[in-house]
Chains A and B, each alone.
Chain A
């Protein structure tokens, strides 16, 4: 492909391609039929999780192989080097088609881990990892949090000790989403405890099927298990799987976390749209208050999309996005809560007891899943600290001893 197609032309091309390979989505228009799941985190068994992941992966491979995958990446990684917001243009079209909904591990691999490898990886690592990850032949999970290191991630205690031309990892990670299906884990480890703690961290990519890696699902408040605990018992990792320099792992980690914040801006929009559909189709007139509540959710979702567009267009124009890049996640978690509140108001008792009606009790999955995103990927409170300190330049939080 030469040159950058006009957005309208590009979208027409996307549509034309999608029409050939996928079915147009009808369920959304036909209210009351089709899949009524609004799960934020899926309640799948391991076998179901694998089966769904395979389906999504098949679709991602089709995209990638036909040149609609790694749109913003250079050709050597299967991409077309289009401006970043073309990915959004693509998704806007794809929304109208019946293709598998991506679970968390996919954006983690493609939008968080792959870009970090592009920045921090050696040439050999980029060759080895990037295309397979963008094509989702390999899937990556984040082995970041530990029981004693959550918001305060730099407190990680998982040790990596050099041995020959490799490293021995020992520790315990928790809340690892997608660990059952990931082929790689990005592990934040302590390699030196004699230096200030941020300087003693190194990041490794660990094969999730390596000897010594044990994954145990943790049941969540939704009833399902989309996250896990992961034991690393003397896992041998070759030095060639170290990402970034020894002792520079904190910066590598921050790269991933920043991408995660940026990627969070779209959370909750699908379900907000669904809740608005519910407000349109509810078999009774809405009260004035309910209309206001519904319109408020509409405005929230619209504004969230606009904030996202401002970020992508700033990036496309080669500008560093400003405050808009950091507010997205807080805005998104508020949208998710407002969605729950509207649905609660509209459904009344049918939210609390399953009458078997389409699109009613299913909302409990949203109600129970939404709180997870206020914690995952940097809690709401941590996001506020980040905004206050990095954007508004207010004083930093006081640190406790030895921080």
Chain B
């Protein structure tokens, strides 16, 4: 049975983390204002490549949680979570989540030292963008051993940054079981199509593999465990982003309602509105707590991680849903306009649920992990 046994000090932000947050929020304020974010999403690659390299180089974001032997800084996921809160807060479209968290974790969790040594330094330095296929949604990819090594055939959909990422880590069916492969496909053997997406700040693509040369990562049969580990890391990362996005929605809404006047008073003086924002604060503080705990569990590889990650996913998707709905509603007509940013957050919140699972998906999984199933025999 699950028992909460957390060192409470892990739930507090350290001084180092606070400084990181300040540096990052300054940089993002300068580079990811609401207007610039839109421009970035309309650029060919969908994000600001200069900023990408500044994040990797100046601050070392990409390598923060990667081991030093692979070009990382050897901090933990707790530090990376600080970054993701801030990038989530401004909807920074840089593909940190697929590159650093999903692909980075899949290489690390595979325990394949050769693959790690080959790819992780590029991820840490910002030279590579990367993603995973066949992890979040089932894909039909098979791997065969050809005369010149392994090749991949089949297709994967809903791949985050699937059109543009340099490196793909793919969960594929090999003759000896499900196995992970890494490839840097080009157009001669791979068709990659950007999907039209609900959330323009997080691109998704359809990938058709037509005999893509690929290198196996880890051992045969090990893939399901790696996929599980990556999904947990993904949930924890997404939770941190959602905390940041929710906090932005609350701040922006608060700012609006204490200045907007109707009926001769600011609308923020109406109790109906005060109470709704109070409820939102309760939800966000809950999300923040669940996210901090899950990050701490991931940082120390605690056995509670699957439960903590699932709980954070429930708390944070719920808070983000509520926050983004209130963001629109409490701004009135302006909240419903294209120009105003609120809809970008609605898009992010809902598209993330589609990609990583709704609160109810996570609840159902948690119930299984915790035996909340009644007597099933």
With a cutoff of 8 Å between Cβ atoms, the chain B residues found around residue A395 in the complex are: 258, 265-266, 268-269, 274
Take A282-B374, A294-B372 as given contacts and tell me if A323 and B258 are in contact as well, using a CB distance cutoff of 8 Å: no
Determine the distance from Cα of A289 to Cα of B80 in the docked complex, in whole angstroms: 35
With a cutoff of 8 Å between Cβ atoms, the chain A residues found around residue B128 in the complex are: none
- Min C-beta distance of A138 to chain B, whole Å: 31
With a cutoff of 8 Å between Cβ atoms, the chain A residues found around residue B32 in the complex are: none
Q: Which of B269, B273, B360 contacts A292 (CB 8 A)?
A: B360
**Residues 279-307 of A at the B interface (beta carbon under 8 Å):** 279-286, 288, 290-296, 298-300, 302-307
Find out whether the CB atom of A291 lies under 8 angstroms from the CB atom of B293: no
- Min C-beta distance of B273 to chain A, whole Å: 8
Q: Which of A285, A334, A384 contacts B275 (CB 8 A)?
A: A384
- Min C-beta distance of A2 to chain B, whole Å: 22
Find out whether the CB atom of B7 lies under 8 angstroms from the CB atom of A7: yes
**Is A314 an interface residue, CB under 8 A from the partner?**
yes
**Is B22 an interface residue, CB under 8 A from the partner?**
no
Find out whether the CB atom of B364 lies under 8 angstroms from the CB atom of A306: no
Q: Which of A284, A302, A323, A385 contacts B375 (CB 8 A)?
A: A284
**Nearest residue, chain A, Cβ from B373:** A286
Find out whether the CB atom of B366 lies under 8 angstroms from the CB atom of A305: no
**Residues 1-18 of B at the A interface (beta carbon under 8 Å):** 2, 4, 6-9, 11-12
**Nearest residue, chain B, Cβ from A397:** B271
- Min C-beta distance of A387 to chain B, whole Å: 4
Chain B interface mostly: helix
Find out whether the CB atom of B367 lies under 8 angstroms from the CB atom of A394: no
- Min C-beta distance of B263 to chain A, whole Å: 12
With a cutoff of 8 Å between Cβ atoms, the chain B residues found around residue A276 in the complex are: 370, 372
Take A280-B374, A285-B374 as given contacts and tell me if A323 and B285 are in contact as well, using a CB distance cutoff of 8 Å: yes
- Min C-beta distance of B269 to chain A, whole Å: 4
Binds B, one of A145-153, A182-190, A324-332: A324-332
**Nearest residue, chain B, Cβ from A381:** B275
Find out whether the CB atom of B360 lies under 8 angstroms from the CB atom of A391: no
- Min C-beta distance of B13 to chain A, whole Å: 10
Which one of B258, B274, B282, B292 has the highest number of Cβ atoms from chain A below 10 Å of its Cβ? B282
Take A279-B372, A285-B376, A394-B269 as given contacts and tell me if A302 and B311 are in contact as well, using a CB distance cutoff of 8 Å: yes
Q: Which of B12, B268, B368, B371 contacts A394 (CB 8 A)?
A: B268
**Is A310 an interface residue, CB under 8 A from the partner?**
yes
Determine the distance from Cα of A394 to Cα of B315 in the docked complex, in whole angstroms: 25
With a cutoff of 8 Å between Cβ atoms, the chain B residues found around residue A383 in the complex are: 278
With a cutoff of 8 Å between Cβ atoms, the chain A residues found around residue B4 in the complex are: 302, 305-306
Q: Which of A279, A285, A295, A387 contacts B364 (CB 8 A)?
A: A295
**Nearest residue, chain A, Cβ from B291:** A306
**Is B281 an interface residue, CB under 8 A from the partner?**
yes
Find out whether the CB atom of B372 lies under 8 angstroms from the CB atom of A291: yes
**Is A317 an interface residue, CB under 8 A from the partner?**
yes
Find out whether the CB atom of A384 lies under 8 angstroms from the CB atom of B278: yes
Find out whether the CB atom of A296 lies under 8 angstroms from the CB atom of B271: no
Q: Which of A7, A296, A394, A398 contacts B314 (CB 8 A)?
A: A296
With a cutoff of 8 Å between Cβ atoms, the chain A residues found around residue B34 in the complex are: none
Find out whether the CB atom of A388 lies under 8 angstroms from the CB atom of B375: no
With a cutoff of 8 Å between Cβ atoms, the chain A residues found around residue B266 in the complex are: 395
With a cutoff of 8 Å between Cβ atoms, the chain A residues found around residue B362 in the complex are: 295
Determine the distance from Cα of A285 to Cα of B376 in the docked complex, in whole angstroms: 5
**Nearest residue, chain A, Cβ from B361:** A292
**Is A1 an interface residue, CB under 8 A from the partner?**
no
Map CB proximity to A onto B257-301 as digits: 1 under 8 Å, 0 otherwise.
Answer: 110000001101101011101110110011011101100000000
With a cutoff of 8 Å between Cβ atoms, the chain A residues found around residue B279 in the complex are: 330, 384
- Min C-beta distance of A96 to chain B, whole Å: 10
Which one of A85, A283, A296 has the highest number of Cβ atoms from chain B below 10 Å of its Cβ? A296
**Nearest residue, chain A, Cβ from B4:** A305
Take A281-B375, A384-B275 as given contacts and tell me if A310 and B370 are in contact as well, using a CB distance cutoff of 8 Å: no
- Min C-beta distance of B17 to chain A, whole Å: 13
**Is B254 an interface residue, CB under 8 A from the partner?**
yes
With a cutoff of 8 Å between Cβ atoms, the chain A residues found around residue B257 in the complex are: 394
- Min C-beta distance of B150 to chain A, whole Å: 39
Determine the distance from Cα of A395 to Cα of B277 in the docked complex, in whole angstroms: 12
With a cutoff of 8 Å between Cβ atoms, the chain B residues found around residue A137 in the complex are: none
**Is B343 an interface residue, CB under 8 A from the partner?**
no
Find out whether the CB atom of A392 lies under 8 angstroms from the CB atom of B254: yes
Find out whether the CB atom of B314 lies under 8 angstroms from the CB atom of A384: no
With a cutoff of 8 Å between Cβ atoms, the chain A residues found around residue B331 in the complex are: none
**Is B210 an interface residue, CB under 8 A from the partner?**
no
**Nearest residue, chain A, Cβ from B376:** A285
Find out whether the CB atom of B366 lies under 8 angstroms from the CB atom of A391: no
Determine the distance from Cα of A7 to Cα of B5 in the docked complex, in whole angstroms: 11
Determine the distance from Cα of A300 to Cα of B366 in the docked complex, in whole angstroms: 13
**Nearest residue, chain B, Cβ from A323:** B285
Find out whether the CB atom of B271 lies under 8 angstroms from the CB atom of A307: no
Determine the distance from Cα of A298 to Cα of B285 in the docked complex, in whole angstroms: 17
With a cutoff of 8 Å between Cβ atoms, the chain B residues found around residue A39 in the complex are: none
Determine the distance from Cα of A274 to Cα of B275 in the docked complex, in whole angstroms: 30
**Is B45 an interface residue, CB under 8 A from the partner?**
no
Map CB proximity to B onto A1-33 as digits: 1 under 8 Å, 0 otherwise.
Answer: 000000100000000000000000000000000
Find out whether the CB atom of A306 lies under 8 angstroms from the CB atom of B11: yes
**Is B350 an interface residue, CB under 8 A from the partner?**
no
**Is B195 an interface residue, CB under 8 A from the partner?**
no
Find out whether the CB atom of A309 lies under 8 angstroms from the CB atom of B6: yes
Determine the distance from Cα of A139 to Cα of B101 in the docked complex, in whole angstroms: 55
Determine the distance from Cα of A296 to Cα of B311 in the docked complex, in whole angstroms: 8
State the A residues within 8 Å of B (CB). Answer: 7, 85, 88, 276, 279-286, 288, 290-296, 298-300, 302-307, 309-310, 312-314, 316-317, 319, 323-324, 327, 330-331, 334, 381, 383-385, 387-389, 391-395, 397-398
Ranked nearest first, the 8 interchain pairs of A and B with the lowest CB-CB distance are: A291-B367, A388-B274, A313-B8, A306-B289, A395-B269, A387-B278, A384-B278, A295-B363
* Known interface pairs A279-B373, A295-B370, A316-B8; 7 further A-B residue pairs with C-beta atoms within 8 A, sorted by A's residue number: A280-B374, A295-B362, A295-B364, A296-B314, A302-B311, A303-B311, A313-B8
12 contacts between A and B (CB under 8 A): A280-B372, A286-B373, A288-B364, A291-B368, A307-B286, A309-B8, A327-B286, A331-B282, A383-B278, A387-B281, A394-B277, A395-B268
